[in-house]
Structure 1
Amino acid sequence: MARGKVQMRRIENPVHRQVIFCKRRMGLLKKAKELSVLNMEGLIERYKCNLPEAQVESTEQNIPMVIQQDVLFLRREVDLLQNSLRYMYGEKDINHMNLGELQSLESNLEVWVNNIRSTKMQLMSREIEMLKNKEGILKAANDILQERVLLAINSCIL
């Protein structure tokens, strides 16, 4: 049974937020590890299955070179993604970062903070707008109730 689409929203409970953060982080790190453990035999088999029989004999010497290049590219990409995740989650020791890495991390953090503030301001403005609408509705209801009270008082006096 498939799960429905989960709407992304802020989790108010800090403990619950931390638990979900840890689970998501572990999931991302697990995926990164799985990508980094690609074995060469699987890649060779995949290439052999996709090549026609006539080309297999002539290109047999070229396949390992192509596969090695693919594996090297994938390993670099996985390392880059793992380092990015470590930076984002603060797992890499800041004392061992060079100046360029620190500046990059700082600029990324500034962008994230600005995005968070922008989203927060949008949510607050929507909330203010909803509260103003609610205030108008309540004032109208209050006016109606005051008129009814005045009518009731006037009818009791007469």
Structure 2
Amino acid sequence: MAREKIQIKKIANATARQVTFSKRRRGLFKKAEELSVLCDADVGLIIFSSTGKLFEYSSSREKGVPVPKRYYYIIGLQNEL
């Protein structure tokens, strides 16, 4: 038996919206970590909450240059071409 699809829309209740954001953020970070481990990929994830708070994940923190710095370096090189 298939689950019923939910309609994607803004959650009106601020508390429920924050709880949902926190749960989904944790799930997204877990998926990013799994992708990094399973596929040996460098993964970077940046999320801003509705209040402007920054949340970030980088799989390469221990390996040297963080993913965001690598991203900006590559984008900068491409813009010069």
| Bin for the TM-score computed over the shorter chain | 0.5 to 0.7
Identical-pair percentage:
47
| Counterparts of residues 36-75 of structure 1 (less than 5 Å) | 36-38=36-38, 71=40, 75=41
Structure with higher helix content: 1
Cα distance in structure 2, aligned partners of 1:26 and 1:2: 25
Tell me by how many angstroms 1:91 deviates.
2.2
Structure with higher strand content: 2
Q: CA RMSD, aligned part only?
A: 2.5
Cα distance in structure 1, aligned partners of 2:12 and 2:23: 17
Unaligned runs of 5+ in 1: 40-70, 93-100, 102-158
Tell me by how many angstroms 1:38 deviates.
1.6
Please give the per-residue CA displacement for 1:90-148, whole angstroms capped at 9, x wherever unaligned: 025xxxxxxxx8xxxxxxxxxxxxxxxxxxxxxxxxxxxxxxxxxxxxxxxxxxxxxxx
Tell me by how many angstroms 1:3 deviates.
1.6
Unaligned runs of 5+ in 2: 57-71, 73-81
Q: Which has the higher contact order (CA 8 A, sep 6+)?
A: 1
Under a length normalisation based on structure 2, what TM-score does the superposition of the two structures give?
0.53
Partner of 2:21: 21
Number of equivalences: 54
Q: Which has the larger radius of gyration?
A: 1
Cα distance in structure 1, aligned partners of 2:35 and 2:16: 29
1:91 aligns with 2:58: no
Runs ≥4 in structure 1, deviation > 4 angstroms?
none
